[in-house]
Amino acid sequence: METTQLYNQYTRLLQKAADLHNAAALLEWDHEVYMPAKGAEFRGRQLATLAAMAHEIATGTALEETVNALKTSTGLDEKQKSNLRLSSSDIKKNKKLPTAFVEALARQTTECFNAWIDARRLNDYSVFEPFLTKMIALKQQQVALYGYKNHPYDALLDDYEQGATVAMLDVVFNDIKEKLPPVLAHIKTAEQVADDCFHQHFPKQEQWDFSMEVLRKMGFNFEAGRQDYAEHPFTTSFSPDDVRLTTRVSEDNFAPLLWSTIHEGGHGLYEQGLPAEQYGLPGGSAASLGIHESQSRLWENCAGRSKDFWTGFYPVLQGYFPEQLADVSLDTFFKAMNKVSPSLIRTEADEVTYHFHVLIRYEIEKGLMDNSIHPKDLQTVWNSMYEKYLGITPPDAVHGILQDVHWSHGSFGYFPTYSLGSFYAAQFYEHATRQLPGLPQQVRTGDFTALLAWLRQNIHVHGRQYTSEQLCERMTGEPLNMDYFMTYIADKYAEVYR
């Protein structure tokens, strides 16, 4: 068979697996957004069936033989060679997981998520604990199937950030423990910032309408996506032409919907920017979760929490909420959104203390994988770590151990990418500003066309062709460098806290 025919066959097989994955993703989205409670049992069965079918294609003889035949073919371009190299690696990894295991994991994910919802409703970790224990046992089994050299957690980290290890991340989180406490200490000595303007009554519909206006300005295409409400905000994509965002709202606090929407909007723009012609192939997938988080954190923080951003948007926001914000100046609003104070909820944390939330989850996940921490002790461990790193203790499970959806999904190894993403974001935004001299003025007028085009050209279009580190070096001329983040927060908080 000639090269073109072989490559078309390879594409068809991967796209068929992608169709199954995306059908499952649609059912998962519906599960978290619209599904009636009684549908959970059959939904778990449906998801398990689709996961098994997709896994059988991804590990099947037909795909492996086609990829092996193409390795010796001539006439392939660099993108095609990259796809084949990545697919070959994916096949080897996927084959380590038996289909029965993949099916069991999918079923447990559904059960675990439902238990998490019930536990949050009852504010009782003990409702979630037996289901989480089963999930952790499955993830430990996955570690054993994958294999590892140094730390068992390494096997799971690689699923989200290729090449990431405990040895590498310990350096990152030791930097956090060394470099961020002096910033916090300095801020504590400054005149403190009030955020009362966020804690008023903001009607749900007006919040929603403003969030939709922000997403449109950012460049999110509503003909290729939508936004809905969910218990925990997330983004999922079934193709670049069908990307779903979710957010949550509190009528007593404008912050949750505002930052969730902008954050998930950043994820959504990345998904809409992936090359549609590479659907199902590595070239049509995100580079890593760290790079994905860099997009959400860049929009949420580097742009969204800047005074430039709100120079244009604040008068619009005041138009939505004249009674609440008419007497609140832009400067007051800017300082309020950047208030630094230890808090309980990760998704609502400021940019400095946020990384201690991630650090806590990183240390817990390491302990769960090497059995130095046990699920029955998690709430106690969680509370003691919050006291240790942030000086606060959660009053209940909802504001503590039950706040994140990730463990109910089996997403162990995801959390470290939040900090990596923030550090990449600061480095990327600095270089975008250097390469786009008119960017600050454009942001002040609500024009994000050039910024989005820069991200499309430098990140989105490449899919998985490059690793995170390779992308970073291509864009900025150096590997990930936390100094960009430290300079960024020093400059911002010098203005906020004088």
Interacting residues of 233 by C-beta distance below 8 A, sequence separation 6+? 245, 246, 247, 248, 260, 263, 264, 347
> Catalytic annotation on 264?
yes
- Alpha carbon of 357 to those of 103, 239, 339, 405, 465: distances in Å? 32, 32, 16, 14, 31
d(CA 56, CA 17): 9
In order, the DSSP letters of 129-165 are HHHHHHHHHHHHHHHHHH--SS-THHHHHHHHSTT--
Q: Which helix (H) or strand (E) holds 244?
A: strand 242-247
* CB neighbourhood size of 351 (10 A): 21
d(CA 316, CA 374): 49
Of 260, 301, 266, 300, which Cα lies nearest the Cα of 286? 266
Six-digit token string for 153: 């957690």
**Which of 264, 351, 365, 469 is flagged as catalytic?**
264
Of 360, 340, 358, which Cα lies nearest the Cα of 350? 340
d(CA 220, CA 288): 21
Active site residues: 264
